[in-house]
Amino acid sequence: MRTALITGSGRREGLGFETARQLGAEGFHVIVSARQLEQVGPLAAELADQGIEASALALDLLDHASVTTAMQRVNAQFGKLDVLVNNAAMMVGSPGVAEKDMDELLLEFQTNVVGTWSVTQKFLPLLIASGRGRIVNVSSGAGSFWDPDYGLVNYPGFEMERFGAMPISAYAMTKTALNGLTLKMAKELKSDNILVNAVCPGVTATRPGTEAFARPVADGAKGVVWAATLPDDGPTGLFFRDGKQLPW
């Protein structure tokens, strides 16, 4: 059976859990993960109730020991990993360049870039063992210099006063870095038959009150699943939304 690990999938309303549900419907054994096992245990059980092969895994991107232990458990149970979806991320609504707290900035980069790198590095032997591994880095149009669709002002119904300004300075830079990391990974791992792509799911309604301006989570997850199930001759090292290449 094909296996897929999705990081940051500890919220029922989140993109990670919906991605797991859709991959499970495609016949994958999905591994939902979060920092605390109690976050994902009930979600794995919920997927199992829907007829999906699923298991739960504790994985903290910022804890190297946690990542290593998670890899060892997946290796012991499956001996390989076919798909890694790097979905876990941090976005802090805080001031721009002049007022940004540097400790907060470091935490965002450690989570969104270094954490993704760490998880990929640790799970790489299992992806190679698959023979046709897929890595999907969940990015954002905020990480593109040229994405014409990015920006909440383009979403009717968005209330700036209610939800606050988007933290473009820090979050956008982490996603720009993630896109660059995607390119680096793709070049290095091509000889191992691993396809690596970044995907922007669009602004999705993962929080209460965002339905007025954001797309359904299921729609955002479709693009992630598309990249996770690419054929062997599919693209690598590129940036997509809804299966269409984006500039960055």
- The C-alpha atoms of residue 207 and residue 194 are separated, in whole angstroms, by 33
Give the ranges where the chain is alpha helix by DSSP (H). 15-25, 37-49, 64-78, 102-109, 115-130, 160-163, 173-189, 217-228
Alpha helices in 86-198 (DSSP H): 102-109, 115-130, 160-163, 173-189
Selecting among 17, 28, 150, 171, the annotated active-site residue is 171
C-alpha dihedral sign at 41, 42, 48, 52? negative
The answer to whether 23 and 50 are in contact (CB under 8 A) is no
Cα separation, 79 vs 83, whole angstroms: 13
Place of tokens 């199930």: 229
Cα separations in angstroms, 54 against 3, 85, 212 = 9, 15, 32
Say how far apart CA 140 and CA 27 lie, in whole Å: 27
DSSP code of 114? I
Q: Active-site residue 171, yes or no?
A: yes
Which active-site residues does the annotation give?
171
